[in-house]
Structure 1
Amino acid sequence: MFEDQWRQTNCDYTVKVGYNWIVDDGIDVTWYPWIKNRLLLPKHNFFICLVAHNRLLSQDRLVRMQIATCNRCLLCDDGEENIDHLFFQCSYSQQCVRLIEDWLQICLPLQGIIDWWLHLRERSLLKKQVVATAIAQLMYLIWHARNRCRLEYVLPSPASLFKQVKETLLINLRGRKLVIGANATREWINCVCPNCI
């Protein structure tokens, strides 16, 4: 069947042409540029993909799989733990996000990961990458805090998560050559991440 369809294209076969013919135009994924961010660590990239595809084993999924019996949020004990609640509605997560917002001088919508990425589209590339990296790191650390709470009954403070995000991001920025365009971006980077440029 594929051979007959390929013959109708009248193209010389190469792996690249064959792959593009099978894949076609693909699916437009609005959050793809976020994971293409060169400041993100690979583990954060992978984690954002899991979140975007709703593949984390949150309490609601564990209950559906009959692995857990209670689907209450482990971080705030107020509401059903699912991805939207865990990262965007949970009072613990909101405290963490407020600390990031104050530090990076931004305001993020509390609606979902796709909304966060779309909100970042209006910023300079470097600013977008820095904010997206901070958000991805924070989400990763919130997930780890949730797992610690579930397994060790220990919940780190939002301030300790914020401190980890800030330290990791500053180390990451200092280790790279930054391309800074506008003066406004330069001033913002100097304010947020001193000694990075």
Structure 2
Amino acid sequence: MNLWNKAALLKQLWALLFKQDKLWVRWVHAYYIKRGSIESVTVKSNTSWLLRKILDTRELLRDIGGWEVVSSLQKFSIKRTYKLMQDNFEKVSWRRLTCNNQATPKSKFILWLALLNRLATVDRVSKWNRECSTLCKMCGIQNESVQHLFFDCDYSKSVWSAALQVIGMSPESTAGGELRKAVQKARSKRSKNRLYVMLCTECLYAIWIQRNCKHFKGILLSPIAVVKEVLFKVACNCNENDRHRLLLT
């Protein structure tokens, strides 16, 4: 957001130079710049806060290479400017899984945290010098981690199996295999693949909710009840054709 704000301020600086038919630009030139130039005008103590911020971007403009790299055909591009100011980061393989996804925002957020291994599972909590049992909150047999909680736990396996059976698919044997399949299908526009991505996202969120309910309230719904809630959420967010497919099942 900080970089985007700077790119937007640069657009206002560009307007001061190239949009002098605008009333506010003419006012700035008349009262602040006068007969000087944008490049050399001094920021004074009586200059408004907003104009100071706009003029402060002159140094940023020089750093990224001048107007030629951020504008074309007399148009300024905030998007191009924003990308120029960004560092070069490697694109993650699962970016389409979080962006090209029609699931509910909360479920996509939990999916994102799970992909980054940032959920507060007990294997992570125990590293924060907290005394707690590391066993899974739902099965109580193995240590709880993202992989175990969502893919290896018997409860989770039952949820995955029942949910994916609705669209005629079966869960993968490993967490990596399930995620690779979801990433691959997130690139597709086919109806069945869209449903698969939504079901996976909502199932993962539902399992996390049940884990917290078991831990804090001692309540755990049956896998069938969880799947019914998942199917309801998917039906509410998918298009009419996909909803019809779910109703037929």
TM-score, with structure 2 as normaliser? 0.64
Please report how far the alpha carbon of residue 162 of structure 1 lies from its aligned counterpart in structure 2 after TM superposition.
Answer: 0.7
Task: Indicate the residue corresponding to 1:94 in structure 2.
Answer: 157
Q: Is the 8 A contact 2:97 2:186 kept in 1?
A: no
Task: Indicate the residue corresponding to 1:164 in structure 2.
Answer: 229
Q: Does 2:102 match 1:49? A: no
Task: Indicate the residue corresponding to 1:139 in structure 2.
Answer: 204
Q: Is the 8 A contact 2:114 2:146 kept in 1?
A: yes
Please report how far the alpha carbon of residue 25 of structure 1 lies from its aligned counterpart in structure 2 after TM superposition.
Answer: 5.6
Please report how far the alpha carbon of residue 68 of structure 1 lies from its aligned counterpart in structure 2 after TM superposition.
Answer: 3.9
Please report how far the alpha carbon of residue 41 of structure 1 lies from its aligned counterpart in structure 2 after TM superposition.
Answer: 1.2
Q: Is the 8 A contact 2:167 2:192 kept in 1?
A: no
Structure 1 residues 21 and 103: CA distance shift in structure 2, 3 A: same
TM-score, with structure 1 as normaliser? 0.79
Please report how far the alpha carbon of residue 52 of structure 1 lies from its aligned counterpart in structure 2 after TM superposition.
Answer: 0.9
Aligned residues: 184
Task: Indicate the residue corresponding to 1:35 in structure 2.
Answer: 98
Q: Name the aligned partner's letter for residue 50 of structure 1.
A: L
RMSD: 2.8
Counterpart among 129, 134, 153 of residue 66 in structure 1: 129
Please report how far the alpha carbon of residue 39 of structure 1 lies from its aligned counterpart in structure 2 after TM superposition.
Answer: 2.1
Please report how far the alpha carbon of residue 107 of structure 1 lies from its aligned counterpart in structure 2 after TM superposition.
Answer: 2.5
Q: Matched residues in 2 for 1:9 and 1:24: separation? A: 20
Task: Say which structure, 1 or 2, has more relative contact order (CA 8 Å, 6+ apart).
Answer: 1
Please report how far the alpha carbon of residue 30 of structure 1 lies from its aligned counterpart in structure 2 after TM superposition.
Answer: 1.8
Q: Which has the larger radius of gyration?
A: 2
Q: Matched residues in 2 for 1:122 and 1:10: separation? A: 35
Write out per-residue CA displacement over residues 115-170 of structure 1, whole angstroms, 9 at most, x where no aligned residue.
Answer: 24235368653222111111111111100110011011111111111111112222
Moved more, 88-97 or 65-74: 65-74
Please report how far the alpha carbon of residue 40 of structure 1 lies from its aligned counterpart in structure 2 after TM superposition.
Answer: 1.2
Q: Name the aligned partner's letter for residue 96 of structure 1.
A: V
Please report how far the alpha carbon of residue 2 of structure 1 lies from its aligned counterpart in structure 2 after TM superposition.
Answer: 6.5
Unaligned runs of 5+ in 1: 181-188
Task: Indicate the residue corresponding to 1:111 in structure 2.
Answer: 175
Unaligned runs of 5+ in 2: 1-58
Task: Indicate the residue corresponding to 1:81 in structure 2.
Answer: 144
Q: Name the aligned partner's letter for residue 104 of structure 2.
A: L
Structure 1 residues 25 and 107: CA distance shift in structure 2, 3 A: farther
